Amino acid sequence: MYRIVSLDRVGLYVVMNEGSLATLGGKSHWTSLDALRHAAKLENAPLHDRVLRTRI
């Protein structure tokens, strides 16, 4: 299951899988949560419901 991480300071979202940065559809970051969720849906990648927010 993929964990969504919000990098609040830079305004990007990434996904982690088993502790490592993951890619979906060839991308490693997204500017919106909706775009990330859409990419996960296209890849049939399960996402956690909660978003981890960082300030770094």
The parent domain of residue 33 ranges over 2-54
CA 41, distance to chain mean position in Å, is 12
Q: How many domains does the chain have?
A: 1
For the sheet containing 20-22, what is the strand order? 20-22, 12-17, 2-7, 47-54
pTM over 0.95? The answer is no
Q: Mean pLDDT across the stretch 14-42?
A: 97
d(CA 38, CA 51): 15
Q: Mean pLDDT across the stretch 13-26?
A: 96
Above 80 in pLDDT, residue 34? yes
Q: What is the pLDDT of residue 56?
A: 65
Above 80 in pLDDT, residue 44? yes
Above 90 in pLDDT, residue 43? yes
Question: Of 17 and 55, which is predicted with more confidence?
Answer: 17
